[in-house]
Amino acid sequence: MGNGMDSEGPDMTINADHTRDDKLDTTDRALITALQGDGRLGYAELGDLVGLTPGGARRRVVRLQERGILQIVGVTDPLKLGYQQMAMLGIEVTGDVAETAAALGEIENVVYVVTGAGSFDILVEVIAEDSDALFDVITRQVRRVPGVGRTETFTYYAIHTHRFGWGTR
């Protein structure tokens, strides 16, 4: 999976600028909240919820997608789709954190990359078909990325909570 919108699918890369977009009005916020609850809602249903025609709801949703605010995807549990291994990797970086994070995000089995403060500079979530594949991803791909210093692996047994309906502020 690459980052950004590409021919492989709607991967989402979030920029370092996390400032609030004050151009969202109450209609935009209501559409986002409704789609967080059920991403399969049709434009007619969305329009009824916010007082727009189906075409007006569609235009609003498309505009939110084009601005990178909204992405509609099917959320799955990789452990139930044949990926027997998932892990979070804590990574200490010896160089430019942003460059290292970008390079890690280009690895196919990497599904989540965040930078932050604390014991690790970067947290990376990876999926793999089995233990051998997980070992390969970590040792032959992640650890070979320039800037990756030390890694610590936290393997998953199960996913207990996975929220996407946090609304808007």
Spans in the chain with pLDDT lower than 50: 1-16, 21
Q: Which residues pair with 115 in a beta bridge?
A: 122
Domains of the chain, earliest start first: 21-75 (1.10.10.10), 78-155 (3.30.70.920)
Please tell me the distance from the alpha carbon of residue 87 to that of residue 155, in angstroms, as a whole number: 4
> pTM of the entire structure?
0.71
Gyration radius of the chain over CA positions = 19
List pLDDT tens digits, range 5-52.
333 334 444 444 555 545 899 999 999 999 998 999 999 999 999 999
Q: CB–CB of 105/112 below 8 Å?
A: no
